[in-house]
Amino acid sequence: MAVKKQSPDPKGPKKTNADDSTAEKESRFPTVWSRVRFGLSIFAKALLSLCLVLVITGCIVACVLTIYVTTTFDKNAVPDIDVINQSQTSIIMVQDSKTGEFVEHQRLDGVKREFVDLKNIPVNLQNAVVAIEDERFHEHYGVDWKRTVSAVANIVLHFRETEYGGSTLTQQLVKNLTGNDDHTIERKITEILTAIELEQQYSKDEILQAYLNIIPLTGTIEGVGAGAQYYFGKDVSELSLAECAVLASITNNPSKYNPYRRPENLLQRQRTVLRKMHELGFITTDEYQQALGEEIYFSRSSQAVTVYDYYTEMVIDDVIRDLQNTYGYTEVQAENMVFYGGLTIYSCEDPELQAKVEAIYADDENFVDIKGDEENAQASIFVMDYTGKAVAVAGGRGEKKANRILNRATDSMRQPGSAMKPIAIYAPAVYNNVINYSSPIRDMYITLKNGSKWPKNYNRPHEDRGMTTIEKAIQSSMNTVPAQILNSLMPVNTAFDFLTKSLHMTSLDKTWDRDFAPMALGGLTNGVYGREIAAAYQIFGNGGIYNEPYSYTKVVRNGEVILQNGPGASGYISERALDADSAYITNRLLQTVVFGNDAPTAKDLKSSWKEWEIFAKTGTTQDNNDVWLVGGTPKYVAASWYGYDQNQELTTAQKKVARNVWNTVMLALHEGDEPMTFDAVKAATVEAVFCDETGLLATDACKRTETGVYKAGHMPATCSHGAVIEEEKPDTLPGKHETTSSTGTTSTAAPTTTTLPATTPTSTDDP
């Protein structure tokens, strides 16, 4: 029997009464759960979208960086760990003053590290470091990807209380060798690629040996050999299991786990190391328990450490710098080369002269201390000859008791005050023929844009004192005259370019120091290095030649010369900064600072150098924080500084120290020498008598006269005594002038008094 099919209801199946009731209730009264479920759905979608965006963005950034790094990565730039593993002691040679032969002066070993062959490092110490730092060291190929991913995940999700690094021992060795610890993805990718390449070039034992010999163990102590001596007073091969765990603990954070300052932290870390060694099967249960119960005794080594003199440390720093510049090494790589690379360094040091200088600076009687000061004032000096060779250096006062400390003569920038005037203003002005030896310049302030008067001379009010000569201005260290020269005779750029391009001073700020106060009065942004200002002044004693200061002549490794320095070496700077006439004229002007009647600041020197010719210039800053004397004899030129590391005003007695110590040092270095003059560098200059009142060539009508030095083609006019003498100006249009810079180019500039700030620092010198 056929069953008749019913047509489906176009409205769908009918709902029961119960269904109708439930639907009605849900539509009319939504449950809390449905709301929560809806909210979670929206949140999940948003979170998923955010995660996708972050993942995609991260992948894009990572890919771009990876492509960038891999395309620019240089396999040849992988650190050379043979420098450490071969551990060849470097030697500094000096020339014997009697025979002329080079003899050994200093071995550069035991400074911060003591190389130890892996076979002499206890297996327990090797395992302790591997266990706590990189447990899969012998399994991975430079990078432990499991640890790396885990470390990144921990940073994001914080499933451990403290963050931990993902670097392997190989990666840490790369970081220690290069000194690159930037927190950037680019640096990390480069480190990973370098570690992988390092593992291709060296065995695990070579990598572990290098790592153990370079790990930081607090302060200046690096490597397990030096660490064992420092903390336990014994050879590393003699360390017990418990002591090995201590050294492995310290390297994680030398400050946090310093046994002398935080012994409780170190003990906890040591137990962690021992527990990890036990877990990994490096030690038995009995060994583990015995090590936990062992009492540790710390006994710093009484082994004497050779303390290098300041000259030797300067040589070390110079060679490190030149290795970086020549071969592209990082500072750490260059330092490793110096201390481990078996270099023979030919130093310019004369140990006898250096010893004299260091003895002077070690004697507190040569300095003035203020009772109650938290720190004593410091001092430095840099002495060189006129070929550029460094003669002697002192980087601080007091006995030198440590290595690699601050050398204030080469590494500190201090404000020069009036010591800047001869090299920034007077020398280039003479060179460009805008002034001569006795040019009349108005001793008067400049009116600034805001109406204030600047500058004033030391201990004198703002007033117009009429005309004065350049000779008097230098002797009295006037501030007004160099300001007037910049204002109306010579552009600021000429002064700045002379300092930076002709005298190669590196401490000047290109933006802020290209202005009136820095150039005219020495109020610089950063200050100057003693080494560089001494080199700048050498041009006044050698006929205008700038020679870059050098402390060594060559460096040899395995019979090959890898560095050369000094005259004749490639890249060495030796060039004319001034013409010989201008250099000698400035020299004679600076001689009046010592011997002139209007030169009270250096009168203490006059009696010491009666039959000599010497030139000098003092410098004292407005705040009395820094005092200088920079000057030279026909044999040497030196820059002496005195002041506090943390700026503090000097007393009247302290302000004389820089020139007194300069005098003491130079007399010691010239002991036994016959008086000398600068006649050899007179060039073609002409001596002539000038009127002391007008600065013009004197006649019988002039009451007071002096002898000046001039260029034959730039002589003053003859004095018509009694007539009104106006200020000498170049033959240019008013308000605008041309001068020839030290580089030979011609520049045009107008007086720029409006560029001065409302308050401008000045330089002072004691009368």
Q: How is the chain split into domains, by residue range?
A: 118-293, 413-543+578-635+673-767
- Max mean pLDDT among 321-325, 460-464, 759-763 falls in 321-325
| pLDDT at 238 exceeding the cut of 70 | yes
Q: Are 614 and 645 in contact (CB under 8 A)?
A: no
Which tokens sit at 451?
């109406």
pLDDT at 371: 83
Q: What is the average pLDDT across 570-578? A: 97
Least confident of 23-32, 130-139, 714-723, 754-763: 754-763
The topology (CATH level 3) of 413-543+578-635+673-767 is: Beta-lactamase (3.40.710)
> Over the chain, what is the mean pLDDT?
84
Q: Residue 22: CA atoms inside 13 Å, Cβ hemisphere, count?
A: 4
Check residue 528 and report its DSSP letter.
Answer: E
Which tokens sit at 393?
């250096």
Q: Are 512 and 649 in contact (CB under 8 A)?
A: no
- Single-letter amino acid, residue 418: S
Nearby residues of 295 by Cβ (< 8 Å), 6 or more positions away: none
Between 230 and 581, whose confidence is greater?
581
| pLDDT at 247 exceeding the cut of 80 | yes
Please calculate the CA angle 432-437-442 and round it to the nearest 5 degrees.
90
Q: If pLDDT is split at 50, 70 and 90, which confidence band does 74 have?
A: low
Q: Which CATH class is domain 118-293?
A: mainly alpha
CA distance 753 to 156: 58
pLDDT at 192: 86
pLDDT digits (tens, 9 = 90+) for 479-517: 999 999 999 999 999 999 999 999 999 999 999 999 999
- Which of left, alpha, beta for 281 (phi over 0: left; psi -120 to 50: alpha)? left
Select from 358, 165, 128 the least CA-distant residue to 245.
128
Q: If pLDDT is split at 50, 70 and 90, which confidence band does 570 have?
A: very high
Least confident of 332-336, 476-480, 702-706: 332-336
Question: Tokens 């290795």 map to which residue?
Answer: 323
How would DSSP label each residue in 596-648?
A: STT-GGGHHHHGGGTTS--EEEEEEETTS-EEEEEEE-SSEEEEEEEE-SS--
Which tokens sit at 716?
């003053």
Least confident of 12-21, 80-89, 466-475, 675-684: 12-21
Q: Are 384 and 348 in contact (CB under 8 A)?
A: no
pLDDT at 67: 60
Per DSSP, the three-state class of 222 is strand
CA distance 332 to 84: 12
CA distance 503 to 586: 15
b (16+ CB within 10 A) / e for 81-96: bebbbebbebbbbbbe
pLDDT at 640: 98
Which tokens sit at 345?
């360094």
Q: If pLDDT is split at 50, 70 and 90, which confidence band does 763 have?
A: low
CA distance 420 to 530: 12
pLDDT at 730: 40
Query: 623 φ, ψ to 5°?
Result: -85, 0
Q: If pLDDT is split at 50, 70 and 90, which confidence band does 188 have?
A: confident
Nearby residues of 727 by Cβ (< 8 Å), 6 or more positions away: 440, 441, 442, 467
| pLDDT at 131 exceeding the cut of 80 | yes
Q: If pLDDT is split at 50, 70 and 90, which confidence band does 221 have?
A: confident
pLDDT at 75: 62
Kind and range of the H or E element at 313? helix 310-327
| pLDDT at 412 exceeding the cut of 80 | yes
CB neighbour class for 725 (10 Å; exposed up to 12, middle 13-18, buried from 19) = middle
Measure the CA dihedral 321/325/326/328, to 10°.
110
| pLDDT at 477 exceeding the cut of 60 | yes
Between 575 and 763, whose confidence is greater?
575
Q: What is the pTM of this model?
A: 0.76
Between 744 and 631, whose confidence is greater?
631
Which strands make up the sheet holding 615-621, listed edge to edge? 390-394, 378-385, 636-643, 626-632, 615-621, 763-764
pLDDT at 767: 42
Domains 118-293 and 413-543+578-635+673-767 share a fold: no
Q: Are 323 and 563 in contact (CB under 8 A)?
A: yes
Which tokens sit at 634?
């026909």
Between 38 and 229, whose confidence is greater?
229
pLDDT at 185: 72
pLDDT at 330: 86
Least confident of 44-53, 407-416, 723-732: 723-732
Percent with pLDDT over 70 in the chain: 79
Nearby residues of 438 by Cβ (< 8 Å), 6 or more positions away: 469, 470, 471, 690, 695, 696, 706, 708, 716
Which tokens sit at 628?
């200088």
Per DSSP, the three-state class of 265 is helix
Select from 320, 315, 309 the least CA-distant residue to 403.
309
CA distance 61 to 69: 12
- Max mean pLDDT among 50-59, 86-95, 124-133 falls in 124-133
Least confident of 196-205, 574-583, 749-758: 749-758
| pLDDT at 452 exceeding the cut of 60 | yes
CA dihedral sign, ordered 45, 46, 47, 52? positive
Between 184 and 389, whose confidence is greater?
389
Q: Residue 33: CA atoms inside 13 Å, Cβ hemisphere, count?
A: 1
Q: Are 649 and 643 in contact (CB under 8 A)?
A: no
- Max mean pLDDT among 192-201, 209-218, 219-228, 654-663 falls in 654-663
Least confident of 257-261, 549-553, 634-638: 257-261
pLDDT digits (tens, 9 = 90+) for 427-444: 999 999 999 999 999 999
pLDDT at 7: 44
